[in-house]
Amino acid sequence: MNYIYSKVSSEKKFFGKTDPFQLIEKYGTPLYTYNENILRLRCRDLKGLISYSNFTVNYSLKANSNLELIKIVRSEGLRADAMSPGEIYLNRMAGYKPEEILYISNNVSEDEFSYAINEGVKISVDSVSQLTMFGKLNPGGKVSFRLNPGVGAGHHEKVTTAGQKTKFGIEMSSIPEVKKIIEKYNLRLIGINQHIGSLFMDSEAYLKSTGNILSIARQFDDLEFVDLGGGFGIPYNKQSDQPRLDLKDLGGKLTKVINSWVKEYGKDIEFKIEPGRYIVAESSILLGKVNAIKTNYNIKYIGTDLGFNVLIRPVMYDSHHDIEIYRGNDIPSLKEENVNIVGNICETGDIIAKDRKLPEILENDILGVLDSGAYGYSMSSNYNSRLRPAEVLIQADGNPRLIRRRDTFDDLVKNFML
Ligand SMILES: *Cc1c(COP(=O)(O)O)cnc(C)c1O
């Protein structure tokens, strides 16, 4: 096999003892591949973020909910967040105890609250109205709430999850009402959490919002935890040497703020963070095949099986993913050119990389979409009645293992009343 353009995966020895051609021959295409060593490394990065003994990292499952990956994350000592009853169920299946799971609810029904209450997980509510519903269902229970500190951050307005223009959290001015409802239903407020948005690459907004949540937390004297949220960014432009988020700097500053706050509060309560993307994004390369190439009115289209049913981030958020090229023979690429890399879905917007300058791509090349582990498979769909891809883990010993089979036609019809 000829690695035409593969600096990132080669340096990381991403494919272990195998290579993209062997992988798609065995498991088919498109194919999500994951590297166990990288996943473990990213877990350890964040476990070491803060020097404070009562610090826990909750993996936010919605970024990627493959059971085998959750088990690896768990084996690294991380705990778990859930955004839905389904995620509570998956976390329990991965071996988490109820008290290790924090259910961060948003506009849920009474049934969903009851499920979470019966499971015994920790629960955070997202509005005064939901706090009231929770109080009626579980008077005397323990609860936490999600604060909207009024500032947000994120790579796109759709993923900025705090600030003055988002549905999330309880605004500062509603805190007196929160206190009233807590008293009315005899609830015990054990935690406050926030999540200001996804994919920040410098620490300023995170530190600012930490200051905000801590000033609110001070008003409650019986807390067990404060949860600072996720959103830790990863460099999606590795081919152009984008620097990483400076965890040492952020961690050092957070450590200072937390230690001095705790001293004042008088109790070594737990501090949590809740990363999703940072843990899993870089552990995956999505492989797809080049089936057709054409030029339409001066634009060159590389036609692949990587439709937005497989990876929707570029279409949904205008996200950038670096692309690698692997070739099954030793024909070289003699020039670079600008191309649109597109999928096989019947929509003009089905573009995975637009006007991208790359070495010449040939039919039957395999493309590798870097950093596709977060919000990749978990946002995939059967749109156009396409089959969702398989997932393969490159294990620590370098050997591949199938961790989710590809959909079959049976999966497309399994819910019909046949
Ligand atoms: C999605 C989400 C996260 C994880 O966000 P990342 O940007 O993937 O780190 C954390 N907390 C909450 C409440 C979320 O909804």
Per the residue annotation, which of 346, 409, 417, 418 is the catalytic one? 346
Query: 323 alpha carbon to ligand 1 midpoint, in Å?
Result: 25
CA-146 nearest atom, ligand 1: 13
CATH number among 3.20.20.10, 3.40.50.10490, 3.30.930.10, 3.40.50.800, domain 37-279 = 3.20.20.10
Phi/psi at 392 (nearest 5 deg)?
Answer: -130, 135
Query: 58 alpha carbon to ligand 1 midpoint, in Å?
Result: 10
* Amino acid identity, position 257: V
Query: 14 alpha carbon to ligand 1 midpoint, in Å?
Result: 26
C-alpha span between 134 and 152 (Å, rounded): 27
Which residues contact residue 206 at a Cβ distance below 8 angstroms, ignoring those fewer than 6 apart? 153, 196, 200, 228, 229, 231, 250
CA-198 nearest atom, ligand 1: 7
Question: What number does CATH give the domain 2-34+282-413?
Answer: 2.40.37.10
Instruction: Tokens 């582990």: give the residue.
Output: 373
The pLDDT value given to residue 247: 97
The pLDDT value given to residue 153: 66
CA-277 nearest atom, ligand 1: 8
Q: How many other C-beta atoms are found inside a 10 Å radius of the C-beta of residue 131?
A: 24
The pLDDT value given to residue 183: 97
Residue to probe by mutation, ligand 1, list 42, 56, 81, 247, most atoms within 8 Å of CB? 81
How would you classify the pairing of strands 351-359 and 336-342?
A: antiparallel
Query: 129 alpha carbon to ligand 1 midpoint, in Å?
Result: 22
The pLDDT value given to residue 235: 98
**Chain centroid to CA 333:** 35
In order along its 418 residues, the chain shows pLDDT tens digits of 799 999 999 999 999 999 999 999 999 999 999 999 999 999 999 999 999 999 999 999 999 999 999 999 999 999 999 999 999 999 999 999 999 999 999 999 999 999 999 999 999 999 999 999 999 999 999 999 999 877 766 667 776 777 778 899 999 899 999 999 999 999 999 999 999 888 899 888 899 889 989 999 999 999 999 999 999 999 999 999 999 999 999 999 999 999 999 999 999 999 999 999 999 999 999 999 999 999 999 999 999 999 999 999 999 999 999 999 999 999 999 999 999 999 999 999 999 999 999 999 999 999 999 999 999 999 999 999 999 999 999 999 999 999 999 999 999 999 999 8
Q: Tokens at residue 273, please?
A: 């963070």
Q: Residue with the nearest Cα to atom 10 of ligand 1?
A: 230
Cα distances (angstroms) measured from residue 111 to each of 88, 117, 118, 134, 210: 14, 10, 10, 11, 33
Residue to probe by mutation, ligand 1, list 45, 145, 194, 274, most atoms within 8 Å of CB? 274
Q: Is the dihedral of CA 62, 67, 73, 77 positive or negative?
A: positive
Is residue 410 within 8 Å of 387, Cβ to Cβ? Answer: no
* Amino acid identity, position 286: L
Domain boundaries, the chain: 2-34+282-413, 37-279
Question: What residues line ligand 1, using a CB cutoff of 6 Å?
Answer: 60, 62-63, 81, 83, 104, 195, 198-199, 229-232, 274-278, 374
Residue to probe by mutation, ligand 1, list 60, 247, 282, most atoms within 8 Å of CB? 60
Query: 198 alpha carbon to ligand 1 midpoint, in Å?
Result: 7
How would you classify the pairing of strands 101-104 and 299-304?
A: unpaired
The pLDDT value given to residue 198: 83
User: Which residue, among 393, 390, 370, has the nearest Cα to 380 in the 3D structure?
Assistant: 390
Please give, one letter per residue, the 3-state secondary structure of 239-273. HHCCCCCCHHHHHHHHHHHHHHHHHHHCCCCEEEE
Active site residue 346: yes
CA-199 nearest atom, ligand 1: 7
Query: 223 alpha carbon to ligand 1 midpoint, in Å?
Result: 22
Residue to probe by mutation, ligand 1, list 195, 245, 283, most atoms within 8 Å of CB? 195
Q: How many other C-beta atoms are found inside a 10 Å radius of the C-beta of residue 169?
A: 25
* Amino acid identity, position 291: N
CA-154 nearest atom, ligand 1: 7
Q: Residue with the nearest Cα to atom 12 of ligand 1?
A: 195
Query: 157 alpha carbon to ligand 1 midpoint, in Å?
Result: 14
Tally of CA atoms within 13 A in the half-sphere of 151 that contains its CB: 11
Q: How many other C-beta atoms are found inside a 10 Å radius of the C-beta of residue 175?
A: 17
Q: Residue with the nearest Cα to atom 4 of ligand 1?
A: 276
**Ramachandran bin of 180, using left for φ above 0, alpha for ψ from -120 to 50, beta for the remaining angles:** alpha
